[in-house]
C-alpha cells in the first residue's frame, strides 16, 4: 500500500543491529516493559476479597474495580494508542508512564473505594503503553524478521498477564494489598526512565489532526477485511480465555480442591508456560504459515476445553488444559498481529488500537458469560462455552480466502 503524502519515514536506531535488525537488549527491554505495564490490569483480581473487607463494600461492588480497569484500558486503546502514529513515540510513552505512576500511587494510598476506582480507571487507560511498544518494535524490525521480533516482545506481554495474579497474591499475603499498587508505581517510574534512555527516536508517521486520526482508525476496519477478521478471531479466543480464568478460581477454591487465594495464584503459574509459544508463532508467521497454524490453534483450544470439562476434580487435567488454552490464544494473537501490521506500515498504532479493542471486548464478554454460565450450569457449562467459541472461530476460518485482502497472503 502506497504511503500518503503526510507519512514520514521513522528513523532507525544507530545501535549495532543483530541479524533480525533490532538490538537484543532493546527487544528484552520492550518485552519486560510490555509485561510490566499490562500486569497493572490484573493485580486487583486476587485482592477483591481483601478490598471488600477494607472498604466495607459488597462482593458485587468490589468487582466493579476489575470492570472499570478494563473499561479504562479500552478507552486508552481507542483514544491514546492511535496517538502512536501522530506523536513522537518515546515522548508519548514517557508521559503515559508518568501518569500511570501517579495513578498507582493514588491507588496505593486510597482512603475510599471511589478513590480506588478512579485511580484504577486512569491506570487502566494509561497502561496501554504495552500496545504502543509492540507496534514500535514492529516498526524497528525488517520485514523478514518482523514476526520473530513481535513474538519476542509479545512473549513478555503475555507473561506479564499470566504472572500478574500470582505476584499480586504473594505480595499482598506478605506485605498487604497497598504494597502491590505502590510497588508497581515504583516499577513504572523506573521503567519510564529506562525506556526514555534506551528507545531510539521514532518520528510520527502522520501529521493529520487528532480527530482525523480517530476517524481513520474506524475507517481502517472498513477498508481492511483482514483487520476485522483477525479481530473477530481473537475476540472469540480471548473470550474463551477469559471465561476459563475468571471461573477456574471458583473450582479451585470449591469443595473439590479447597485452594487458598495464594494457591489459586500459584495455579496461574501453570498457564505461563503457554507464553513460550510466542517466539515460535512469530517464526510461523515469517514462514507463511499464518492461516494453517491459526486453524490448528482453534482446534487445540476447543480440545483443551473438552479436557477441562473432565478435569473438574483433577488438577493435573485442569493444568494441562490451562497450558493448551493459553498456548492457543497466544499463538493466534501473534499470528493476528503479524497479519495486521502488514496492512499499512504508516498506521500500525491505529491498526493495533482497533485490533486490541475488538478482542478485549470479546474478553470482557467472555468473562461475564463465564460467570453467568458457571452460576447456572457449573464448570461443565463453562467448558462447553469455552469449546464453542474457538469452534465458531474455526467455522469462520473455513471461509477465509487466500487473497491478500483477507490476510491470507501471509498464510498457507
pLDDT in tens, 309-340: 987 788 999 999 999 999 999 899 999 988 99
Extents of the domains making up the chain: 17-204, 208-412
Pick the CATH number of 208-412 from 1.20.1250.20, 1.10.238.10, 1.10.3720.10, 3.40.50.10790: 1.20.1250.20
pLDDT at 357 over 90: no
Buried-state track 104-129, b at ≥16 Cβ within 10 A, e below 16: bbbbbebeebeebbbbbbbbbbbbbb
Contacts of 47 (CB under 8 A, 6+ apart): 168, 172, 177, 180
Band (402; pLDDT cuts 50, 70, 90)? low
Q: Which residues contact 84 (CB under 8 A, 6 or more apart)?
A: 92, 132, 135, 136, 348, 349, 350, 352
Position 18 scores a pLDDT of: 52
pLDDT per residue as tens digits for the range 163-180: 888 898 889 888 999 999
Residue 367 has pLDDT above 80, yes or no: no
208-412 matches 17-204 in CATH topology: yes
- Mean confidence (pLDDT) of the chain: 84
60-97 residue pLDDT tens: 677 678 778 878 888 898 899 888 888 888 999 999 99
How many CB atoms are closer than 10 A to CB 2? 6
* Region for residue 176 given its phi and psi (left: phi exceeds 0; alpha: psi -120 to 50; beta: otherwise): left
Sign of dihedral through CA atoms 96, 102, 108, 113?
negative
Residue 120 CA, distance from chain mean position: 17
Contacts of 375 (CB under 8 A, 6+ apart): none
pTM, full prediction: 0.76
C-alpha cell at 184: 508497581
**CA 350 to CA 82: how far, in whole Å?**
5
Residue 58 phi, psi dihedral angles, 5° rounding: -75, 165
The angle at the Cα of 299, spanning 328 to 329, to the nearest 5 degrees, equals 15
Band (pLDDT 50/70/90 cuts) for residue 20 is: low
- Compute the distance between CA of residue 185 and CA of residue 3 in angstroms, rounded to an integer: 39
CATH number of 17-204: 3.20.10.10, 1.20.1250.20, 3.30.300.30, 3.30.2350.10?
1.20.1250.20
Residue range 304-309: average pLDDT?
95
Amino acid at each position: 500500500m502506497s504511503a500518503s503524502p503526510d507519512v514520514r519515514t521513522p528513523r532507525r536506531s544507530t545501535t549495532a543491529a543483530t541479524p533480525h535488525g533490532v538490538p537484543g537488549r532493546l527487544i528484552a527491554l520492550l518485552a519486560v516493559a510490555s509485561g510490566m505495564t499490562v500486569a497493572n490490569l490484573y493485580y486487583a483480581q486476587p485482592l477483591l476479597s481483601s478490598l471488600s473487607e477494607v472498604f466495607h463494600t459488597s462482593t458485587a461492588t468490589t468487582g466493579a474495580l476489575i470492570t472499570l480497569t478494563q473499561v479504562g484500558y479500552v478507552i486508552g486503546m481507542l483514544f491514546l494508542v492511535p496517538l502512536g502514529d501522530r506523536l513522537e513515540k518515546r515522548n508519548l510513552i514517557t508521559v503515559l508512564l508518568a501518569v500511570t505512576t501517579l495513578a498507582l500511587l493514588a491507588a496505593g494510598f486510597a482512603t475510599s473505594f471511589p478513590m480506588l476506582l478512579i485511580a484504577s480507571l486512569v491506570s487502566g487507560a494509561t497502561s496501554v503503553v504495552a500496545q504502543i511498544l509492540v507496534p514500535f518494535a514492529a516498526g524497528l524490525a525488517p520485514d523478514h524478521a518482523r514476526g520473530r521480533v513481535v513474538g519476542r516482545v509479545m512473549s513478555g506481554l503475555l507473561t506479564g498477564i499470566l504472572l500478574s495474579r500470582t505476584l499480586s497474591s504473594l505480595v499482598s499475603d506478605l506485605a498487604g494489598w497497598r504494597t502491590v499498587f505502590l510497588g508497581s508505581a515504583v516499577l513504572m517510574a523506573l521503567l519510564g526512565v529506562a525506556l526514555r534512555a534506551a528507545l531510539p527516536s521514532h518520528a510520527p508517521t502522520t501529521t493529520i489532526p487528532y480527530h482525523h486520526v480517530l476517524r481513520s482508525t474506524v475507517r481502517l476496519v472498513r477498508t481492511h477485511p483482514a483487520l476485522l477478521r483477525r479481530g473477530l478471531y481473537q475476540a472469540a479466543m480471548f473470550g474463551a480465555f477469559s471465561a476459563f480464568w475468571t471461573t477456574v478460581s471458583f473450582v479451585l477454591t470449591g469443595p473439590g480442591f479447597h485452594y487458598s487465594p495464594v494457591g489459586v495464584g500459584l495455579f496461574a503459574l501453570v498457564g505461563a508456560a503457554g507464553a513460550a509459544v510466542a517466539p515460535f508463532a512469530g517464526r510461523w508467521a515469517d514462514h507463511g504459515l499464518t492461516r494453517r497454524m491459526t486453524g490448528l490453534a482453534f482446534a487445540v483450544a476447543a480440545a483443551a476445553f473438552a479436557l477441562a470439562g473432565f478435569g473438574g476434580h483433577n488438577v493435573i487435567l485442569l493444568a494441562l488444559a490451562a497450558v493448551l488454552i493459553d498456548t492457543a490464544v497466544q499463538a493466534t494473537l501473534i499470528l493476528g498481529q503479524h497479519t495486521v501490521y502488514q496492512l499499512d506500515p504508516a498506521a500500525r498504532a491505529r491498526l493495533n488500537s482497533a485490533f486490541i479493542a475488538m478482542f478485549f471486548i470479546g474478553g470482557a464478554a467472555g468473562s461475564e458469560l463465564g460467570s453467568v454460565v458457571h452460576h447456572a450450569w457449573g464448570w461443565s457449562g463453562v467448558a462447553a462455552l469455552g469449546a464453542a467459541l474457538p469452534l465458531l472461530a474455526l467455522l469462520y476460518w473455513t471461509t477465509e480466502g487466500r487473497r491478500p485482502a483477507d490476510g491470507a497472503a501471509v498464510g498457507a
